[in-house]
Amino acid sequence: MKIVVLDGYTENPGDLSWDGLKALGDLKVYDRISYVDSPEIAKTIGDAEIAVTNKTPITKATIDSCSNLKLIAVLATGYNVIDYNYAKTRGIAVVNVPTYGTQIVGQYAVGLLLEICSHYQHHSDTVHEGRWQNNIDWCYWDFPMIELYGKTAGVIGLGRIGQTSARILKAMGMKVLAYDTFKSEAGAEVAEYVDLDRLLRESDVIFLHCPLFPETEGIINKDNIAKMKGGVIIINNSRGQLVVEQDLADALNSGKVYAAGLDVVSTEPIKGDNPLLKAKNCLITPHISWAARAARQRIMDITIDNIKAFLAGKPVNVVNK
ω into 269 cis (within 30 of 0)? yes
Give CA angle at 147 (142, 149), nearest 5°: 175
- For residue 2, what are the β-bridge partners? 26
Give the span between the Cα atoms of 7 and 45, in whole angstroms.
11
Contact 121, 142 (CB under 8 A): no
Rounded to an integer, what distance in angstroms lies between the CA atom of residue 116 and that of residue 114?
Answer: 5
SS3 261: strand
Q: CA–CA separation, 129 vs 118, rounded Å?
A: 18
List the catalytic residues.
239, 268, 287
Contact 105, 161 (CB under 8 A): yes
